Amino acid sequence: MSALICGSLAFDSIMVFHDHFKNHILPEKIHMLNVSFLVPEMRREFGGCAGNIAYNLKLLGSTPQIMATCGADFAPYAAHLDKLNISRQHIRHVEDSFTAQAFITTDLSDNQITAFHPGAMNFSHLNHVNQASDVTIGIISPDGRDGMLQHAREFQEAGTPFIFDPGQGMPMFDGNDLMAFVELADYVTVNDYEAELLQTRTGKTLDELAQLVKALIVTRGELGSHIYADGQVIDIPCARASEVLDPTGCGDAYRAGLLHGIANGMDWATTGRLASLLGAIKIAHRGGQNHAPSLNDIKQLFKAEFGYDFA
């Protein structure tokens, strides 16, 4: 299986403020806000949806291809991908730009203040799906707006089945745009909040949207997920995590499970359970790419959790 993953590559700088934001932000002065937070803890992680999805697919023994754009500061990420033996063939370097970056400050109540710089993501339209070969399935995850629209059309023209995964990119699109994505895609995956937004913007119910694709997948956090397929709603349980440390990248891990299951002809119950398990493995580790189970570990965990083997 070779999946083409169109989406973002990013550096995540995560800082911890050892207090509560509310103690330092005065409501009556919000119109002239000027605050500074001392953050003695900081870590920098490799992230971005495309990078995270590819990382998890590699754990499953697949051969992911990343189609993304990066900036002049990409060298550490490039070395990371080389170490993982993940191809950089379709990662375009954009001069005079930064790789996308998120700067996240978290307080002791897990409130977050995030600044996101898209950088080279804005040039994702310079990449074209037909530049990749031997692709059996694709996914469009959050990326530059023009690139997402273009890649959806190109997947459809190439006859390559793909998942539409709008994620945090959904606010960039109106109802007509979202309907165009759904009509071009073979599969759609959203979380429960995005599902509500998708219905509001398109004017369609989940049942109506599901009729336009082979499957509509809605993740629901600790409640598991629902897969609308073949005229039914398949309830997927949430796999148990050894501990809950960091949800960053859990959705991407789940999507890797979807890609692997679809490409390998698994039934929806098994595909959803594999996706759920990958999310549970990830949440027990900080960052999107720091969990490192072997494929055999994943298979053993799957059987222990669900009572049967996956192919």
Residue 311 has pLDDT above 80, yes or no: no
Place of tokens 């469009």: 140
Whether 84 and 35 have beta carbons less than 8 Å apart is answered as: no
| Surface-to-core class of residue 11, CB atoms within 10 Å of its CB (0-12 exposed, 13-18 middle, 19+ buried) | buried
Domains and CATH numbers, the chain: 3-9+48-99+122-306 (3.40.1190.20)
pTM of this prediction?
A: 0.95
Q: Which two tokens stand for residue 263?
A: 């490409």
Residues 6 or more apart in contact with residue 6 via CB below 8 angstroms: 50, 67, 68, 124, 127, 129, 138, 139, 140, 141, 143, 147, 148, 151
Place of tokens 């398109």: 202
> How much of the chain, in percent, has pLDDT values that exceed 90?
89
> How much of the chain, in percent, has pLDDT values that exceed 70?
100
Q: How far apart are CA 240 and CA 305, in angstroms?
A: 8
Q: Which two tokens stand for residue 136?
A: 């059996």
Summarised one tens digit per residue, pLDDT across range 42-71 is 999 999 999 999 999 999 999 999 999 999
Q: Which two tokens stand for residue 203?
A: 């004017």
Summarised one tens digit per residue, pLDDT across range 121-140 is 999 999 999 999 999 999 99
Residue 13 has pLDDT above 90, yes or no: yes
First and final CA of the chain: distance in angstroms? 13
3-state secondary structure of 121: helix
Q: How far apart are CA 183 and CA 232, in angstroms?
A: 20
Summarised one tens digit per residue, pLDDT across range 63-104 is 999 999 999 999 999 999 999 999 999 999 999 999 999 999
Residue ranges in the chain assigned as alpha helix (H): 49-59, 75-84, 145-158, 175-184, 192-202, 206-210, 250-263, 268-283, 295-306
Q: How far apart are CA 67 and CA 177, in angstroms?
A: 22
Residues 6 or more apart in contact with residue 27 via CB below 8 angstroms: none
- Partner residues linked to 102 by β-bridges: 12, 116
Q: How far apart are CA 3 and CA 127, in angstroms?
A: 16
Q: How far apart are CA 38 and CA 19, in angstroms?
A: 9
119 residue type, one letter = G
Summarised one tens digit per residue, pLDDT across range 281-290 is 999 999 999 9
Report the candidate in 120, 121, 138 with the shortest Cα–Cα distance to residue 129: 138
pLDDT at 27: 85
